[in-house]
Amino acid sequence: MTAPRPDRAASPALSHAAPIIVAEGVQKHFGTFHALRGVSMSVRPGEVVVVIGPSGSGKSTFIRTINALDPHDGGSITVDGIPLQGAKNLDAIRREVGMVFQSFNLFPHLTVLENITLAPTRVRKASRAEAEARGLELLRRVGIEEQAHKYPAQLSGGQQQRVAIARALAMDPKIMLFDEPTSALDPEMIKEVLDVMKELARTGMTMIVVTHEMGFAREVADRLLFFDQGNIVEDTTPDEFYEHPKHERAKQFLSKIL
Ligand code: ADP
Ligand code: MG
């Protein structure tokens, strides 16, 4: 076992706090297809968890069940003490959880700043001035304040993804979920997005990140989950996983991506 990263090891919250996400025996079917087969895991506040695994193993489905984009149909999920049951606590949970997708999903007819202020003004009832000030601050944080009044199509992929991160942060989530956030980007843009995510991790954000970026995993993640056929088959540290994968599927997978 490798030692925890020094900056996080120093955090008492990480080692002692109760989990902020608890999944127990989560099941998900799409018709007759059994996509999640009893997934159990928990994440403590401030933890950064990387999820990897073969295509179709259930990574996206699992993180989508955490903010109820896909309802699960067995087992239980609790987010910040709120049980996810049908439609009941949906809004409360979605307020706690921000999500960033591979394909950015920005609104093309809105400027960068409007993309960011839309939810805070509509859902949180923030004033326009308040939401814009906060939006500009977030754009500064992701390094693209000067793009505030452009439209998404005028930005590079890396810039669009940084807008998507700022947009999610504008709702002040306690947890951020990332589903292959750099997979659609040209290589030279991957780093600028990973750097924003590293900075977010450094501030103590709880993060679950589906990514095959090994450098990011080893530098930033506290834990790594390897999915195979709808279940977690390894839950370990990134260093341990890359150096000593235990499961045969993990060894095969690594031999293909490395
Ligand atoms: P991953 O993100 O690991 O590549 P997914 O979670 O997207 O995998 O998908 C897991 C499995 O569930 C795949 O076989 C996929 O085809 C299936 N699946 C995902 N979403 C749907 C859906 N909306 N309808 C039917 N099948 C789906
Ligand atoms: Mg996926």
CA 90: distance to chain centroid? 18
The neighbourhood of ligand 2, an ion, using CB within 5 A, equals 59-60
Place of tokens 């709808």: 230
Non-local (6+) Cβ contacts of 89 within 8 A are 82, 83
> What pLDDT is attached to residue 258?
72
Answer whether residue 251 shows pLDDT above 70. yes
Q: Which atom of ligand 1 is nearest to the CA of 227?
A: 3
Alpha-carbon span 94 to 132, nearest angstrom: 22
Q: Is 107 in the pocket of ligand 1 (CB under 6 A)?
A: no
48 Ramachandran zone, left/alpha/beta (phi>0; psi -120 to 50): beta
Q: What is the pLDDT of residue 15?
A: 60
Helix 157-169 / helix 187-202 crossing angle, nearest 10 deg: 20
Residue 244 bridge partners (DSSP):
none
Q: pTM for the whole thing? A: 0.93
Give this complex's ipTM: 0.97
What is the per-residue pLDDT across 28-48, written as a single tens digit (0 to 9) for each?
Answer: 999 999 999 999 999 999 999
Measured from the alpha carbon of residue 54, the closest ligand is 1
